[in-house]
Amino acid sequence: MGETAAAERAHLIGMITGAWKTRVIGEGVKLGLFDKLTGGPLGPDQLAQATGANPDGVMRLLRALATLGLVRHEPGNRFALAPLGQYLRKDAPDSLNGMAGHWSERMWNSFTGIGASIATGEASVPSGPEHFAQHQADIGRADVFNRAMAEGSLRVGRALARIYDFSDCDSVMDVGGGYGALLVGPLEANPHLKGQVYDLPTLSEAASRFLGEQGVAGRVAYVGGSFFEGVPPGVDCLMLKFILHDWSDAKSLIILNNCRKAVEDGRILIIERIVPETVSEADEEVIRGDLTMLTVGGKERTEAEYHALLEQAGLKITKIAPIDAVYSVIEARAA
């Protein structure tokens, strides 16, 4: 076998067996290994003692993490945090700690049903408004999901604030905002702006704690309710990030109609990853999102699909701008 063929084969084997990486990284995060190594290299026995796990199991997990380049195996059988592993610390800037936990638990389970979803085009894991409400009511388990969402939304919100002009907005509501992380960037960049988070009532306490940690609690109010029942009026800008992708067109139309009624002549910002008309390897993130959404009955959409959906809700798109390489903001107003 030539060198190229061997490298291609190894690359493909990496993809075929990729699932193990999700779990190994998730278990490392669950044991807090990346946080515990922040102070310097430690041996497996020390980490086993600190985590209450089996020393041989911890040793083997650390070796696995070393092959992934997340920790470094040093002489004397000690393990040090590698530069890539820094992102898995809970308190790292741009942390991916929450995402790792979310993928190792909820996403891992939802992908077991992907075959059924491909066969039927239907959700294969429990989904729908009642399921979301039930999930979010289990405060501890929901926190893994909500922190994962917040991690990404902090970054996207700060990037959004760099490319989108909020100067003529007084108040902005993060609809289905979870912990409201998306608001942090626009509030930091626009001292005049006031925020509201609108999400299920059970998130109120954890969201307020998170917003306090981010230093914006005094400028954000939490409003509990369901966007299928209605959206509170009174703000001039609504933001929906990762909301429409959770739902079918029929359910998305209920949400959008409620948003249109609430915002009157204000604007709605939809923050999503848009599926290009023709995909390439560069589009892995949005397409991964689309298959994930297939398992819960949602979908990622093309620009043409957003135009059609919004038109049905009595809205027109007034602007579409890239936020970064992956996310876009779609600005819409009543037609």
Residues that bind ligand SAM (CB under 6 A): 129, 132, 136, 149-150, 153, 176-178, 181-182, 199-200, 226-228, 241-243, 246
Evaluate whether 76 touches 40 at the Cβ level (below 8 Å).
Answer: no
Provide the minimum distance between the beta carbon of 48 and ligand SAM in the complex, in angstroms, as a whole number. 35
Distances 262 to 173, 241, 308, 320, 333 between C-alpha atoms, Å = 11, 17, 21, 22, 11
For 258, phi then psi, to 5°, come to -65, -35
* DSSP letter, residue 237: E
Q: Between 111 and 242, whose beta carbon lies closer to ligand SAM?
A: 242
Candidate list 11, 73, 102, 245, residue with the active-site label:
245
Q: Between 48 and 207, whose beta carbon lies closer to ligand SAM?
A: 207
Which residue number places its CB atom closest to ligand SAM?
Answer: 176
**Neighbouring C-beta atoms of residue 305, cutoff 10 Å:** 15
Active site residue 245: yes
Q: Between 153 and 295, whose beta carbon lies closer to ligand SAM?
A: 153
Provide the minimum distance between the beta carbon of 176 and ligand SAM in the complex, in angstroms, as a whole number. 3
* DSSP letter, residue 94: T
Distances 48 to 42, 53, 57, 80, 241 between C-alpha atoms, Å = 10, 5, 8, 15, 40
Provide the minimum distance between the beta carbon of 156 and ligand SAM in the complex, in angstroms, as a whole number. 8
Residue count of the chain: 335
Provide the minimum distance between the beta carbon of 73 and ligand SAM in the complex, in angstroms, as a whole number. 36
Instruction: Quote the tokens at residue 206.
Output: 């954890």
For 94, phi then psi, to 5°, come to 60, 35
Q: Between 200 and 259, whose beta carbon lies closer to ligand SAM?
A: 200
Active-site annotation, residues? 245
